[in-house]
Structure 1
Amino acid sequence: MRPRRSVTARFTFLRLRGLSAAAFPPTPVDPSLLRRLATVLYQQQHSPDPALHASLRKLPLPSSPPHLHELFLQVSNRFPSSWRPVHRFHLFLLHSLPCSFAHTPVSAAKMLSVFGRAQNVDLLWRCFLDASAAGLLTPGALCVVAAALADAREIKKCVEIFHHVSAHDESLCSVDTLNRVVETLCGKKKLADVAKVVVWKLKPLVAPNEATYRCLIVGFCRAGDLVEASKVWNRMLDEGIEPGAESYEEVVVTMFKNNRFEDAMRLFKAMRERRYRDLGLPSYRAVVGWMCKEGRVTYALMLFGEMLKRGVGVDSPTLGALVYGLLVRRKVREGYKVLEGVAEPDISMYHGLIKGLLRLRRAGEATQVFRAMMERGCEPIMHTYIMLLQGHLGKRGRKGRDPVVNFESIFVGGLVKAGKTLQATKYVERMMWGGVEVPRFDYNKFLHYFSDEEGVVMFEEVGKRLKEVGLIDLGDIFLSYGERMATRERRRRAMSGLVDHR
């Protein structure tokens, strides 16, 4: 049954028009009262109103509006995705208490967020209409409502949001608010198609600007839909709006990802001609990185020289891409010189050198770089270990004569120990029937399975056994990862207050 909206609830919203969030500053809430209240609301969320209200009246609820306001916010935080406890407690505050419960933009936005996460579209829409009539909406609340309606594919209501807002608060019905909504839909929700329909239908009411089109282009590009991004691009040009640097960058990168290198370079050259002054470090970094991946180091070096000449500045990811590009062209000495020319190289530069060495099948030298990186205090990440393990063991694992270094004994045995028997069976088939095609091994998942105290023991044991049979480099990688996991667990315990440092 749909929750009924009472006249009193609507009147409470309306009589508090213009109430600011500063009217009720945060006040302390008794934790024991909050636990008891949350328990009652959860256990009796389906009970009749008289029974629930009788239980709530037995609790020592505060009487002042500021304390009630903070208590409502805390209850909403306790049930971020369950609408019924929050809604029924809200109705109780409105109708069953002698003191008046006052809404603010903060509490209204919180209630809209709960209804949106619970995907209760009807209740969300009613609450939005009441909050809009009371003048309690903010741009952030509009983004919450639009995101929830877009998830439910209520595109018509997404458009009606701005029509309702324009009737009560014209300051909210602006292109800045529209851009925030479009950015939310295209970014977090990845619903660029819904955002495009909303922009097109709202055009008579709110005219989009360059930022609006930029959000749409970036959203479609990151969703992999270059065709729709191109349509938005052409429509923007037809309206006489010049695309910004970020739009150019995103389309260029998407073209690179789709192996349309010539089109990407043509667009980049057009960007250099039209928006030369806006050409900054992100644009150069994207093109230099992709050129180095494709082995076109000469053109990448030319762009690098242009960056230095213009004084754009150089960052570590760009230098790391150049190092990798030089090593791909077998210019190892030049790659080392670039690394040595930086006073404090970071993880990006070391990754470029390690990845290039591994591509040249020089896994031992890559491990030496890994050791030097750790000696200089540069902390490795998960991707560092994945690259090194793939370089030493291959993408599908490695089988040796010694059972200690067999792929199955290390990885499949570890999967069985972690309870991943289905995945381990695929690789056992590879061992029994060499012609069976199985997916390549996912080192990322394997390391994730054992990123705990049990994994620390396993990595230490495997590392020692590998070093005993002469695989010192591979053993050091496992030992290093085990030590890192051990210190990580200790740091987490210390932050949780589980370790006594006395």
Structure 2
Amino acid sequence: MIKGFCDVGDLVEASKVWNLMVDEGFQPDIDAVEKMMETHFKINRYDEALKLFQMTRTMRIDDLGLSTYRLVIDWMCKRDKTAQAYLMFEEMHERGIQVDNLTLASLIYGLLVRGRVREAYRVVGGIERLDISVYHVLIKGLLRLRRASEATQVFREMIKKGCEPTMHTYIMSLQGHLGKRGRKGTVTLMNFETIFVGGLVKAGKSLEVTKYVERRYRKGLEVPRFDYNNFLHYYSNEEGVVMFEEVAKKLREVGSVDLAEIFERYGLRMAMSDRR
């Protein structure tokens, strides 16, 4: 019941059930504790979540495992409490709890978004076996710092190490390269506004083009948000293989090597999928 109320964001009812259990002499299990903490974190009641963690830590530390520490460390890093997060890592080590890559990924991303790139790379360097969770936070963090070229180098490295990019990897990478700059970029191939208007013209929708241009200049209307997810799924076929190869070729011609490589790799993935 506690988890159910937390799922719908009703902490009042969840707390009532919690108190009733305690009054009746029952002890909420760790799953319920984590759910309460997570809900507090999500609604920006950070101190309340930590208070619950500290209480559980004091009274039932033997019940705390990897999942609880991971949850706390993740939110500490989101709140720029990396010093506290490091203390949690030390406690895990002292208690013999093996830190997994997902937990380290939270720390890496927390460091990156605050510009502590060298420190983030030091953490990465200490990981014995990198996996998709670590590569993803590296790419995401570097893109957020507008270091798209460096993020693409990580993309290359993960492939070289045999870690296959997922659809999320491609979407994240394209968003990083084609974000606001892409929507109004000077290069036609990467300017969504040009593509949008050009598409309407090719479809013979001149009236829609006129309306869009009028609204664009009178009210500052922007081109509709580009849906990377639908775009990649729509072209995940033989037609897409050819299209991605052609796009990659043209992007290289205008000097967008990093972006070209992402499209090229996705086209290769589709080609290999078709052969299977």
- TM bucket (normalised to shorter chain) is 0.7 to 0.9
Matched, 1:276 2:41: no
Distance 2:197 2:70 in 1: 40
For residue 183 of structure 2, give the secondary structure of its aligned residue in structure 1. coil
Q: Which residue of 2 aligns with 1:472?
A: 257
Q: Which residue of 1 aligns with 2:31?
A: 246
Distance 1:383 1:389 in 2: 10
Report if aligned partners of 2:188, 2:195 keep a CA contact under 8 Å in 1.
no
Displacement of 1:454 after TM fit?
A: 2.2
Q: Which residue of 2 aligns with 1:228?
A: 13
Report if aligned partners of 1:395, 1:440 keep a CA contact under 8 Å in 2.
no
Q: Which residue of 2 aligns with 1:207?
A: none
Q: Which runs of 4+ in 1 moved over 4 A?
A: 409-417, 428-431
Task: Please list the CA deviations of residues 174-215 of structure 1 after superposition, one character each: whole Å capped at 9, or x if unmatched.
Answer: xxxxxxxxxxxxxxxxxxxxxxxxxxxxxxxxxxxxxxxxxx
Q: Which residue of 2 aligns with 1:435?
A: 220
Given the two structures, how large is their TM-score scaled by the length of structure 2? 0.87
Q: CA, structure 1 residues 308+414, in 2 after alignment: closer, same or farther (shift >3 Å)?
A: farther
Report if aligned partners of 2:5, 2:13 keep a CA contact under 8 Å in 1.
yes
Distance 1:429 1:238 in 2: 66
Q: CA, structure 1 residues 279+436, in 2 after alignment: closer, same or farther (shift >3 Å)?
A: same
Q: Which residue of 1 aligns with 2:267?
A: 482
Given the two structures, how large is their TM-score scaled by the length of structure 1? 0.50
Q: CA, structure 1 residues 267+464, in 2 after alignment: closer, same or farther (shift >3 Å)?
A: same
Displacement of 1:412 after TM fit?
A: 7.6
Q: Which residue of 2 aligns with 1:455?
A: 240
- Counting only pairs closer than 5 Å after superposition, residues 361-400 of structure 1 correspond to structure 2 as 361-394=146-179, 397-400=182-185
Number of equivalent positions: 270
Q: Which residue of 2 aligns with 1:49?
A: none
**Which of 300-309 and 369-378 deviates more?**
300-309
Distance 2:57 2:200 in 1: 51
Displacement of 1:371 after TM fit?
A: 0.6
Displacement of 1:299 after TM fit?
A: 1.3
Task: Please list the CA deviations of residues 87-123 of structure 1 after superposition, one character each: whole Å capped at 9, or x if unmatched.
Answer: xxxxxxxxxxxxxxxxxxxxxxxxxxxxxxxxxxxxx
Q: Which has the higher helix share?
A: 2
Report if aligned partners of 1:288, 1:321 keep a CA contact under 8 Å in 2.
yes
**Which of 395-404 and 360-369 deviates more?**
395-404
Q: Which residue of 1 aligns with 2:124?
A: 339
Compare CA radii of gyration and give the structure with the larger one: 1
Distance 2:189 2:20 in 1: 62
Residue identity opposite 1:378 in structure 2:
C
For residue 277 of structure 1, give the secondary structure of its aligned residue in structure 2. helix
Q: 2:101 aligns with which of 299, 316, 341?
A: 316
Distance 2:24 2:234 in 1: 53
Q: Which residue of 2 aligns with 1:403?
A: 188
Q: CA, structure 1 residues 228+439, in 2 after alignment: closer, same or farther (shift >3 Å)?
A: farther
Displacement of 1:364 after TM fit?
A: 0.9
Distance 1:260 1:247 in 2: 17
Distance 1:364 1:335 in 2: 17
For residue 63 of structure 2, give the secondary structure of its aligned residue in structure 1. coil
Report if aligned partners of 1:396, 1:440 keep a CA contact under 8 Å in 2.
no
Uncovered stretches (5+) of structure 1, i.e. residues with no partner = 1-215, 492-502
**Which of 310-319 and 441-450 deviates more?**
441-450
- Counting only pairs closer than 5 Å after superposition, residues 279-318 of structure 1 correspond to structure 2 as 279-318=64-103
Structure with higher RCO (Cα < 8 A, 6+ apart): 2
